[in-house]
Amino acid sequence: MATTELLITNVRVVRPDAPEGTEPQLTDIAVNDGVIARIAPNLDRADAAKVVDGRGLLAFPGVVDAHQHWGIYNELSTDARTESRASAQGGVTTALTYMRTGQYYLNKGGSYREFFPEVLSATDGNAHVDYAFHLAPMMARHIDEIPYLIEEHGVTSFKIFMFYGSHGLHGRSSSQSDFLMIPPDERYDLAHFEFVMRGVQRAREVLTEYAPYVSLSLHCETAEIMTAYTKLVERDDSLSGLRAYSASRPPHSEGLAVTIASYLAHETGLPNINLLHLSSEKALDAALRMQLTFPQVDFRREVTIGHLLADVDTASGIGGKVNPPLRERDDVEALWRHVLAGEVDWIVSDHACCRDELKFGADREDVFLAKSGFGGAEYLLPGLVGEGTKRGLSLQRIAQLTAWNPAQRYGLRRKGTIAEGYDADIALVDPEARWTVRAAESESTQEYSPFEGFEMTAKVTDTFVRGHHVFADGKVVGDPVGRYVRRGR
C-alpha cells in the first residue's frame, strides 16, 4: 500500500528563504493529507499513489494574491467559480478578496454579523483555490464588530477606501450615503478613518494572540483633489482615454493620501499599515518618507502587476481603466526601480472581473463612462517571472513578493513557502515559454484584457492547492476544492 499520496518529481524548488540568487536544485516533493511531507531528490516513485513529473520546471510557492475583488460586478457565487479558475491558471492558490457593504458586491448595507455569513455561504463549495476576505468598516457599528470578526471568522485584515469621501467608484458621486448605504447621520470621512484605526488597534490590544496579524489596508487617493482635477480634465480636449483618466486622478493625490493616512496611524498608535496598489513615483516617495518619519509604524507597500506591465499607451484600450489609474511609462519604470531596491513588499493582481456589457458606457471610447477595474490574476506570476527576471529580479525575491510576504502579514500561517509542514500549494512555471496574451484564452469571464497582445516569456503549467492538481495541461481540472481560510492562529 502506497504511503505517499502525491509525489511531484523533477522540480527546481524556489524557496523564499534561500540566499539571493541561489540556483534552485532539482528535487522531489512528497505530499500527504494536503501537506508537504518531505522534500528530497530521488524519492521512491513506487511508494506513491500518484506521481506527477515536474519536467525540470520551477516550483514556486503557490501565489498568495493578496488583492482581489470577487463579486464586485458579478454575482459573488459566480465570481467564486470563474475567477478562482483564472487564479488557478496563473498559479494563485490563495486569493484574498476585498468585501464591503454598500452598492456592488451584495448590494446591501447593515451589520457584518448578518452580511458576512451570506458572503461565506455564497462562496462555499464554489472556489477552485483557497480564499479569505479583507473587510471594510463602512459605518460605526462595523468598528464595534471588529473583535467579533477576528475571533469568530478569522478575519484579520481591514480596509479604508480614502477616496470614497466625496468620490464614487468610477468618478464623482452625488450621494455618499446612497452609494455606501451608511446611516444618513454618518459620514465616511477622515474622522471615520481615524475611528477605524482606533478600533483596529483596540482589537489588537485585547486579542493579543492575533495582534501580529491584524492590520489595516488603505486605498490612498484624495477625493477632493480627484474631483477638482476631473473637472479640469473634462474641459481639456487634448486629453483622452487612459491618459485623461490618469490626469483626473493625479499622482500627488496618492502622495497626499499616503501622508494623511500615515499621520493618522501615528496618532492612533496603530502599527500595522498596508499601503495598497501604489501606482506612481510620488506615491512610493511619500510612502518611503512616511516610513522614515514614523519608524514605529510597520508600513507595507503593495504594487499591482498591472501597474508594472502596462502604461497609458501600451494598455489595450480603456478596458485598462482602474483605480488608481495606469500611469505614464516614467512611473512604470519608477515602480520597477523600487521593486528591485527591495522597497515593495508584495505584488498582487487587484483582480476585479468586469464583463464587457458592464465595463463600457454608451460611448465605448469615453473613459469617464467606463467602470473601473479589470482581471489579471492569470498573468500575475508569469508576468512577474518573465519581466522581473529580465530586469534582474531573483527567483527568491519573486517567491517573497508573491507568496511569503503576504502570507506572513495576513496570518496565513501554513501558506507562502514550499517546506515540510506547509500546505502543498505549488505552481510549476516554465521560464522558457513564449506566448501571447489573448483574453479569449483566459478562464475569467471577462472578454477583454488591457494586456491583450502582450508577449509573455514565462508560463504557469500546473497548479496544486493543498496537493489537489487543479490546473494541468493548460486547463482547470476537477471540481472546486478551495476552502475558506481562517487567519491568525
Q: What is the pLDDT of residues 117-142, one digit of tens each?
A: 999 999 999 999 999 999 999 999 99
Q: What pLDDT sits at residue 489?
A: 79
Q: What pLDDT sits at residue 164?
A: 79
- Tell me what percent of the residues of the chain surpass a pLDDT of 70: 97
Number of residues that make up the chain: 489
Residue 414 and residue 412: Cα distance in Å, rounded? Answer: 6
Residue 314 and residue 279: Cα distance in Å, rounded? Answer: 16
Instruction: For residues 192-196, give the mean pLDDT.
Output: 97
CB atoms within 10 A of CB 267: 12
Single pTM value for the model:
0.97
SS3 content of the chain, % helix, strand, coil (to 5): 35, 20, 40
Residue 350 annotated as catalytic: yes
Instruction: For residues 242-248, give the mean pLDDT.
Output: 97
Instruction: For residues 454-482, give the mean pLDDT.
Output: 97
| CB neighbour burial string for 169-180, b if at least 16 within 10 angstroms, e if fewer | bbbebeebbebb
In this structure, of 178-182, 345-349, 439-443, the range with the lowest mean pLDDT score is 178-182
Q: What pLDDT sits at residue 21?
A: 85
Residue 65 and residue 83: Cα distance in Å, rounded? Answer: 12
Decide: helix, strand or coil at residue 468: strand
Quick check: 1 pLDDT over 80? no
DSSP E strands in 14-136: the ranges are: 26-32, 35-40, 48-53, 58-61, 63-68, 92-99, 130-135
Alpha carbon of residue 472 to chain centroid: 23
The string of pLDDT tens digits covering residues 318-329 is: 999 999 999 999
Q: What pLDDT sits at residue 167?
A: 54
Instruction: For residues 97-116, give the mean pLDDT.
Output: 96
Residue showing cell 482581489: 68
Quick check: 390 pLDDT over 90? yes
Q: What pLDDT sits at residue 176?
A: 63
pLDDT bracket for residue 175 (50, 70, 90) = low
Q: What pLDDT sits at residue 163?
A: 86
- Tell me what percent of the residues of the chain surpass a pLDDT of 90: 93
Instruction: For residues 69-95, give the mean pLDDT.
Output: 98
Residue showing cell 488608481: 324
Q: Which of 65, 79, 345, 350 is catalytic?
A: 350
- Domain-wise residue ranges, the chain: 62-413+432-454
Decide: helix, strand or coil at residue 452: coil
Q: Is 286 exposed, middle or buried (0-12, 13-18, 19+ CB in 10 A)?
A: buried
- Domain 62-413+432-454 in this protein, CATH class: alpha beta
